[in-house]
């Protein structure tokens, strides 16, 4: 059964439309189970009904035209119970309801399984047979497995609007709104430019071309380059591999012939598909053939085809990168938008980011916030391949993307955009003002920095210091570890620009989702692995060079240098790092520079550090909470995984309690405490942290003026009252709703994200939490 299942799933993946996919499923099921009827009923929540959406064996003319009430018959029962119902004699069941209209006959055997996506029943997959027989366990498992696999396709169609067409409700087509995760706030309207990470075949979009010849030439060059590579590798191995293994390289070369892959790709290019899209199509077709083979050896050969495809694609992209056109209102869209993909777009043209992968705390979201552009992450249902050039609205406040918006929706968003722009201009006046609450509490607002261009952006917005210099970012753009002199120059530039303000340099924080191209780290659980201080203590040579560069960069300047250690989970790490910093200071001074001892601080990012915050504060000069990581480790939720994104809650009462404890511990030891996680840049987070007595809130420059505006309009006493209420709450949802209500009540609405209230057709928007 497994090959059949695999075959159906592969065919569904390849289907031209959602309707075709449903037909493939019902036909495939009938064949696999040797049954007379297979049908799919899809739930239409607006009509509280199940729509007869596809069938093999019943009346196909009524597909999309017939619906039955949600709680009716066996279909309704399967959905309500959310589990399979397997009956030998369906007609004897009290819930049985004979539906002659769709061609039902007195069927005996019935097996219905729910189609469930993320706990929601989307539909029911049913098989029926005249004879009275019980479907066996293997058949039931087959249907359950298939239903689970097609649930994602159905959900995708729901998101893209195709579902409505199939369900016959196409006449009143509303805007197609896809829900993702709010990665970076703000709104943008623009044109999608779909980019793919180098050589990601699955992310290559369709793109029509006018001129076939240049595309063919491009493809020929890529094929020639890959042939050259294979021949070279084959020669290199000729002495060390046996002839039967070397024959593999010949097989590769044959696959690239015109009689195989290359010929097929050329045919698609002649049909005006660009070379990359044509390659993706052909490789997929070949892969499908291999993957549906019964013989496991042959099936495995599919990976060779994929490998070849990736090689050709990487050459095509190499040749092509220079030619991508970025319009003035570019919305960068991709399967996995990474910081390096961002770097290809001229900053003034980049209006927003939409990524299928990633989440609110992925580094690309953090960069988007630093750049002040909206981002929607984890938009897993985006029809990526058909999106290039399409007009989009990106709502980074609510994590929504509208595809091809209606004029009414465009007008509404235009209005919001104008309001936001006017508010931002007003905020410019706050630049020189200190951040003091209504009752005189001073809060330091510093910036998180790392990108080029951050310096002027930060100073323009009135930053009073650098609270987090992510030193790994300049490391990422190099081809090898930067030398001490190179590092010193980068650090000095920042210190001079901020002089006499304090500058907090974090030591190299790689690992997790931040790897350096020249220092790859491959681990099963990278976030629980070799990260931050663990890497640099294992490589004291890297640590020493960096710390020496930081110290030397500060020579002769008045601004305080603060060195901060990431991912600390034990006091030993502080002791070891401190010894290295002392040694570096001695060395630099012995070499003739006059450098003051830096302040040494520790990031609280791991639950263990929360419980040892007193000890850590005693050993260091300051504490700084990295709430992005602290949240992921306290709640055991990967900060990058969109599937668990709703569980990543930095307002979770457990996290808030931890933050309060860290603040208290630092102050018990008479040490300052700050926060440099993203929580500090949210209105709710900033107010609660101010109330907890945090001395420094460090955030991206974009949000700094807005946070200042809010804190200037609230008192510490008022904030404490809110905090006291919040600390008694049980869930993040409660905290969020309460704080939003209170902040609106305090007249701070202008600084809070405003929703578009209604759709063009009058349907209210459904918001994800």
Catalytic residues: 363, 676
Nearest by Cα to 369 from 726, 7, 707: 707
Looking at 373, 656, 676, 743, which residue binds ligand PEP (CB under 6 A)? Answer: 676
How is the chain split among helix, strand and coil, in percent rounded to 5?
50, 15, 35
| Total of residues contacting Mg ion (CB under 5 A) | 2
Looking at 629, 638, 678, 742, which residue binds Mg ion (CB under 5 A)? Answer: 629
**Among the candidate windows 157-165, 427-435, 554-562, 620-628, which touches ligand PEP by CB under 6 A?**
620-628
> Between residues 335 and 605, which has the closer beta carbon with respect to ligand PEP?
605
Looking at 56, 139, 605, 695, which residue binds ligand PEP (CB under 6 A)? Answer: 605
| Beta pairing, strands 466-470 & 503-506 | parallel
- Is residue 358 a contact point for ligand PEP (CB under 6 A)? no
Cα distance between residue 89 and residue 220, in whole Å: 62
Q: Which does 333 bind (CB under 5 to 8 A by kind): Mg ion, ligand PEP, none?
A: none
Q: Which does 468 bind (CB under 5 to 8 A by kind): Mg ion, ligand PEP, none?
A: ligand PEP
Helix spans in 170-301 (H): 212-237, 243-255, 261-270, 275-291, 296-300
> Between residues 275 and 679, which has the closer beta carbon with respect to ligand PEP?
679
> Between residues 491 and 633, which has the closer beta carbon with respect to ligand PEP?
633
Nearest by Cα to 200 from 18, 94, 340: 340
Residue 591's CB is within 10 A of a number of other CB atoms, namely: 10
Looking at 73, 626, 705, 719, which residue binds ligand PEP (CB under 6 A)? Answer: 626
Least separation in angstroms between residue 139's CB and ligand PEP is 49
List all residues 6 or more positions away from 323 whose beta carbon is below 8 Å from its beta carbon: none
Q: Which does 355 bind (CB under 5 to 8 A by kind): Mg ion, ligand PEP, none?
A: none
Least separation in angstroms between residue 659's CB and Mg ion is 15
Nearest by Cα to 601 from 514, 662, 692, 683: 662
Sheet holding 120-129, edge to edge: 67-69, 49-56, 37-44, 120-129, 109-117, 85-87
Q: Which long-range contacts (CB under 8 A, 24 or more apart) does 260-267 make?
A: 261/286, 261/305, 261/308, 261/309, 261/312, 262/219, 262/223, 265/219, 266/216, 266/219
Helix spans in 34-101 (H): 73-81
Q: Which does 412 bind (CB under 5 to 8 A by kind): ligand PEP, Mg ion, none?
A: none
Q: Which does 330 bind (CB under 5 to 8 A by kind): ligand PEP, Mg ion, none?
A: none
- Is residue 494 a contact point for ligand PEP (CB under 6 A)? no
- Is residue 362 a contact point for ligand PEP (CB under 6 A)? no
| Beta pairing, strands 85-87 & 400-403 | unpaired
Distance of alpha carbon 655 from its chain centroid, rounded? Answer: 22
**Among the candidate windows 92-100, 202-210, 623-631, 757-765, which touches ligand PEP by CB under 6 A?**
623-631
Nearest by Cα to 702 from 365, 393, 441: 365
Least separation in angstroms between residue 137's CB and ligand PEP is 48
At residue 675, the 3 state secondary structure works out as strand
Looking at 192, 308, 468, 732, which residue binds ligand PEP (CB under 6 A)? Answer: 468
Nearest by Cα to 723 from 692, 769, 760: 692
The number of residues making up the chain comes to: 769
> Between residues 73 and 532, which has the closer beta carbon with respect to ligand PEP?
532
Q: Which does 677 bind (CB under 5 to 8 A by kind): ligand PEP, Mg ion, none?
A: ligand PEP
Nearest by Cα to 11 from 459, 27, 429: 27
Least separation in angstroms between residue 359's CB and ligand PEP is 12
Least separation in angstroms between residue 736's CB and ligand PEP is 19
Least separation in angstroms between residue 567's CB and Mg ion is 7
Q: Which does 470 bind (CB under 5 to 8 A by kind): Mg ion, ligand PEP, none?
A: ligand PEP
Contact call for residues 703 and 632 (beta carbons, < 8 A): no
Looking at 457, 470, 708, 716, which residue binds ligand PEP (CB under 6 A)? Answer: 470
- Is residue 626 a contact point for Mg ion (CB under 5 A)? yes
Looking at 161, 399, 677, 719, which residue binds ligand PEP (CB under 6 A)? Answer: 677
- Is residue 627 a contact point for ligand PEP (CB under 6 A)? yes
The contact set with Mg ion (CB under 5 A) reads 626, 629
Site of interaction with ligand PEP (CB under 6 A): 468, 470, 509, 605, 626-629, 676-677
């Amino acid at each position: 059964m497994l090959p059949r299942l695999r075959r159906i799933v592969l065919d569904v993946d390849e289907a031209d439309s959602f309707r075709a996919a449903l037909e493939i499923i019902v036909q495939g099921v009938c064949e696999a189970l040797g049954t007379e009827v297979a049908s799919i009923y899809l739930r239409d929540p607006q009509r509280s009904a199940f729509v007869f959406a596809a069938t093999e064996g019943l009346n196909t003319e009524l597909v999309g035209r017939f619906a039955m009430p949600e709680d009716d018959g066996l279909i309704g029962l399967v959905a309500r119970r959310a589990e399979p119902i397997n009956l030998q004699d369906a007609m004897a069941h009290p819930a049985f309801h004979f539906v002659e209209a769709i061609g039902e006959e007195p069927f005996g055997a019935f097996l219905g399984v729910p189609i469930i996506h993320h706990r929601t029943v989307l539909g029911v997959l049913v098989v029926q047979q005249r004879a009275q027989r019980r479907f066996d366990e293997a058949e039931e498992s087959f249907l359950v497995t298939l239903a689970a696999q097609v649930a994602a396709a159905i959900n995708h169609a729901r998101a893209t609007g195709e579902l409505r067409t199939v369900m016959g409700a196409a006449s009143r087509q509303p805007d197609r709104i896809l829900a993702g995760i709010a990665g970076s706030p703000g709104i943008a309207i623009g044109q999608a430019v779909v980019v793919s990470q180098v050589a990601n075949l699955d992310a290559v979009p369709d793109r029509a071309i006018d001129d076939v010849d240049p595309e063919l030439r491009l493809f020929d060059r890529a094929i020639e380059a890959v042939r050259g590579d294979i021949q070279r590798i084959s020669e290199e191995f000729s002495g060390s591999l046996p002839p039967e293994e070397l024959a593999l390289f010949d097989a590769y070369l044959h696959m690239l012939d015109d009689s195989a892959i290359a010929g097929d790709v050329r045919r698609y290019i002649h049909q005006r598909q660009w070379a990359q899209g044509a390659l993706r199509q052909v490789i997929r077709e070949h892969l499908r053939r291999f993957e549906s083979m019964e013989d496991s050896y042959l099936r495995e050969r599919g990976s060779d085809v994929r490998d070849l495809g990736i090689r050709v694609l990487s050459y095509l992209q190499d040749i092509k990168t220079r030619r991508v056109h970025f319009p003035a209102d570019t919305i960068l869209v991709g399967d996995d938008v990474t910081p390096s993909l961002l770097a290809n777009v001229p900053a003034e043209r980049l209006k927003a980011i939409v990524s299928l992968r990633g989440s609110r705390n992925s580094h690309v979201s953090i960069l988007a916030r630093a750049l002040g552009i909206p981002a929607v992450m984890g938009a897993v249902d985006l029809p990526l391949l058909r999106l290039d050039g399409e007009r989009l609205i990106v709502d980074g406040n609510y994590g929504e993307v509208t595809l091809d918006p209606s004029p009414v929706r465009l007008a509404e968003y235009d209005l919001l955009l104008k309001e936001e722009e006017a508010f931002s201009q007003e905020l410019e006046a706050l630049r020189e003002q200190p951040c003091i609450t209504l009752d005189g509490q001073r809060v330091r607002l510093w910036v998180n920095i790392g990108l080029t261009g951050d310096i002027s952006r930060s100073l323009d917005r009135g930053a009073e210091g650098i609270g987090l210099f992510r030193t790994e970012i300049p490391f990422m753009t190099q081809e090898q570890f930067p030398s001490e002199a190179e590092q010193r120059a980068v650090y000095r530039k920042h210190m001079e620009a901020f002089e006499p303000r304090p500058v907090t340099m974090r030591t190299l924080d790689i690992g997790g989702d931040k790897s350096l191209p020249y220092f790859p780290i491959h681990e099963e659980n990278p976030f629980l692995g070799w990260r931050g201080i663990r890497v640099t203590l294992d490589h004291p040579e890297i640590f020493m060079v960096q710390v020496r560069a930081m110290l030397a960069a500060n020579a002769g300047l008045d601004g305080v240098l603060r060195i901060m250690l990431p991912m600390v989970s034990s006091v030993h790490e502080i002791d070891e790092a401190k010894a290295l910093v002392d040694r570096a200071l001695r060395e630099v001074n012995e070499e003739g520079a006059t450098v003051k001892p830096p302040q040494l601080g520790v990031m609280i990012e791991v639950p263990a550090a929360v419980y040892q915050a007193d000890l850590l504060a005693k050993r260091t000069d300051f504490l700084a909470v990295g709430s992005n990581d602290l949240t992921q480790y306290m709640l055991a939720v990967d900060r990058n995984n969109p599937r668990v994104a709703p569980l990543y809650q930095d307002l979770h009462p457990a996290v808030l309690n931890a933050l309060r404890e860290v603040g208290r511990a630092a102050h018990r030891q008479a040490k300052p405490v700050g926060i440099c996680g993203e929580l500090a840049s949210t209105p709710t987070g900033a107010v609660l942290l101010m109330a907890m007595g945090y001395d420094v809130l460090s955030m991206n420059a974009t949000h700094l003026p807005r946070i200042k505006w809010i804190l200037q309009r609230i008192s510490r006493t008022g904030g404490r009252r809110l905090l006291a209420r919040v600390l008694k709450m049980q869930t993040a949802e409660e905290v969020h709703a309460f704080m939003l209500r209170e902040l609106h009540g305090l007249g701070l609405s202008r600084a809070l994200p405003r929703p578009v209230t209604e759709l063009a057709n009058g349907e209210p928007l459904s918001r994800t939490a």
